[in-house]
Amino acid sequence: MYVKPTKWPSVIGTLSVVFGTLGVLGIVVMAFVGPGPDPGRHRDQLLHIPAWYQGVVRVHGLLTSGLLLWAGVALRRRNPLGRTLHVVYVLLVLAVNVFALAVLGKAAADYPGGTMLPVAMLCVGTLGSAYPIFVLVWLMRPSVRREVAVWRERAAARRRRMQGHL
């Protein structure tokens, strides 16, 4: 009996591929463009973010963007690894977002007259967490978990057939 495949793996997989690609490209462009304005100039107008933090953000961004890209491709192929990689991506991103808000909160406290800065940080943190939270909620749905279990069974059956041909 033919069962029409669901569309969600293609939709979420494509979104993940697009966001992952944009993230990787953004990090690569940042590597060539540089860190931005010279911290020595206009010191009173800049938010002082530690240099080590900027490095952590770039490495984390490259790793999580690459992971999201890989997860999206796997999900589009209906590979059960796609769900697992998405969950790992979500956990990494949310953990670092909480850490980033703490670091930036400390920097904002030192920022002269920046009353809107904490509001802007909260908005950016919320936007940065929206897709990961959506993906986590979606992938934890019982119907999605059942469908991924079917993918696992099919993949195991393919492996058994391939071993029988060797």
Digitized pLDDT (tens) for each residue of the chain, 166 residues in all = 666 889 999 999 999 999 999 999 988 887 787 655 555 544 434 556 667 777 777 888 899 999 999 999 999 999 999 999 999 999 999 888 887 777 777 666 666 665 566 666 677 777 788 999 999 999 999 999 999 999 999 888 888 888 876 6
Judge whether 90 and 155 are in contact, CB under 8 Å.
Answer: no
Q: Residue 22: inside a domain, yes or no? A: yes
pTM over 0.85: no
Q: Give the residue numbers spanning the domain of 120.
A: 8-35+47-165
Helix (H, G, I), strand (E, B) or coil at 37: coil
Rounded to an integer, what is the distance from CA 20 to the centroid of its chain? 7
> Domain tally for the chain?
1
In a domain, 41, yes or no: no
> Residue 1 domain-assigned?
no
65: nearest Cα among 13, 27, 114: 27
Establish if 140 belongs to a structural domain.
Answer: yes
In a domain, 13, yes or no: yes
| Domain-embedded: residue 89 | yes
Provide the 3-class DSSP secondary structure of residue 111.
coil
